[in-house]
Structure 1
């Protein structure tokens, strides 16, 4: 039997916070899984959802390097201990706050659609480059960089083997930026409705900008950028540009919970997760999405 074959991009231990508390006795505990419209409802064990075979495995010939998968496992274990302390309203150490940055930063880049986005860009670059016909009699254009060049075969590896090439650097950079530029507030849900989560739980949010700047690229350093991560139906992390540390526990009223779930649902890839079979927010959120889309069409976006 192949060990660690199925690898979760949303950790099973993280999803266990959304287990239905009314799971019948002698049943395997389950979460409620929906599509992005609130339909296709299924009850699934956290162990059986949001995983892929060898997603983070590095292949060296016939051998399987599981270093990334094992590292994620260690980070997940550390996060669960911190989440338990948050639920007990206990003070966190600096190391435990660091564990929150690491866990959230990893969730920003480890979903397969994020990995495929960058891998696909490398494959497209190589495919285009291979169509270029080079005239050997024309002098090459001087390079504008002083660093090492990248051959087409090496670039092809970036597209075909993310785990063995660029993924670790991407992961480290994302965590570093989050830890250096963002402070954390913990949102405490005081409404009767839960924070939802999804197959893409760490959401980057950029505030609306004026028509003049709407086409400018925006990243984690853009003014007003926020990262949100629900960590249970009752708690969520809010990362904002301020001194890096854990700042406050903030009461989340109905409107705040709605906004959090709006971000979670609209940035989900395919699936949303709840601890209950009914999704109160979905219709209202879909109505809001329709309003946003109508505004985009009005401005020709």
Structure 2
């Protein structure tokens, strides 16, 4: 039970189901490859899943589903806020803001691309620790004593080799929940804006829809070009329906902003650019001109 786990929630994708579905067909979204050379009509329940993606496998063979159940509860609350407040253009209370911020963070942290990035980073840490361990084993007694004294003087949290191996093997199970908790507290201090399309243009989503973007990152020195939440120019975007998207930023922007066709297409271009493999639409679309421009076709 609960073996097939979504990294993009079904309740989220259902907002992109085509409204013009023939009689007798199950609801579906339009799924486009990132180069837009292939398309499929797929039911939300059948896409963006992986077996036991968040399952914690215990030593006795049992499956701990606490992360999966926690995400499911968040998805339920998110759907309520979208239905009761966002679609009705109603102001959000503090709890509802927290739900949206937690959902934004979870959407950013739970994808295969995020898992692969974390695995790569922690594998590098493991490799360095193995080199240090080998050096320690080959060191003289005086060298070993000096290395041990340095280790005791180092501030901050420490990780054993077993800790690092465990994180490298299962980064989502080990890192996702505390990361979402810490990140949500920061997002709650940012300004939350709901973008509303006032034209026939519709927001796209993707298999990696929550985008952290900073137009000024390229202008900073190389070592500071990461997209961090501490930079005042950072923007976080997440489409939540074909007509609505969330924007989190440090700028003083009203809670609700109307988006013209040009602005919707600009955000769609960003969503497409950060997609891993697939883009999702609620209707059939011809290949946008900006895809050819970006790919140099």
TM-score by shorter chain over 0.5: yes
Alignment counterpart, residue 40 of structure 1, candidates 38, 41, 46: 38
The aligned residue for residue 214 of structure 2 is 206
Distance 1:229 1:210, change over 3 A: closer
Whole-angstrom CA distance in 2 between matches of 1:107 and 1:276? 23
Match of 2:92, SS state, is coil
Measure, in 2, the Cα distance between the counterparts of 1:188 and 1:258: 13
5+ residue gaps in structure 1? 292-301
- State whether residues 58 and 163 of structure 1, in contact with CA within 8 Å, keep that contact through their aligned partners in structure 2: no
Relative distance call for 1:237 and 1:151 in structure 2 (3 A) is same
Q: Which has more helix, going by share of residues?
A: 2
Which of 278, 285, 288 pairs up with 2:285? Answer: 278
Query: Which residue in the other structure is 2:4 paired with?
Result: 6
User: Which residue pairs with 1:234 in the alignment?
Assistant: 243
Q: 1:252-283 deviations in whole A, cap 9, x for unaligned? A: 012211111011000001110001121453x3
Query: Of 152, 158, 170, which aligns to 2:179?
Result: 170
Is this contact kept in 2: 1:57–1:163, CA < 8 A?
A: no
Between the aligned partners of 1:258 and 1:120, the Cα distance in structure 2 is: 33
Pairwise CA distance, 1:16: 0.4
Q: In 2, distance between residues paired with 1:194 and 1:161?
A: 37
Give the 3 Å change call, closer, same or farther, for CA 275–58 of structure 1 in structure 2: same
User: Which residue is 1:184 aligned to?
Assistant: 192
Q: 1:172 to 1:36 in 2, by over 3 A?
A: same
1:250 to 224, 236, 257: 257
Distance 1:23 1:40, change over 3 A: same
Contact 2:97–2:188 (CA<8 Å) still a contact in 1? no
CA contact (8 A) 2:110 2:172 kept: no
Cα shift at 1:148: 5.2
Q: How many residues align?
A: 285
Cα drift, residue 242 of structure 1: 4.6
- Return closer, same or farther for 1:253/1:164 CA change in 2, 3 Å cut-off: closer
1:177-209: CA deviations, max 9, x gaps?
2112x1111111122221000001110110135
| Deviation (angstroms), 1:126 | 1.1
**Paired residues for 1:1-301 under 5 Å:** 3-61=1-59, 62-85=61-84, 86-132=86-132, 133-134=135-136, 135-137=139-141, 138=143, 139-140=146-147, 142-143=150-151, 144-147=153-156, 149-180=158-189, 182-209=190-217, 211=219, 213-218=221-226, 219-242=228-251, 247-279=254-286, 281=288, 283-288=289-294, 290=296
How far apart in 2 are the matches of 1:74 and 1:200?
A: 21
Partner Cα separation in structure 1 for residue 199 and residue 294 of structure 2: 20
Deviations 1:85-123 (CA, angstroms, capped at 9, x unpaired)? 211223333212221111111111111210221122112
Query: 1:101·1:178 contact (CA, 8 Å) conserved in 2?
Result: yes
Aligned counterparts of 2:82 and 2:180: Cα–Cα separation in 1: 22
Please report the TM-score for the alignment, with normalisation by the length of structure 1. 0.88
Structure 1 pair 67–256 and aligned structure 2 pair: CA distance change class (3 A):
same
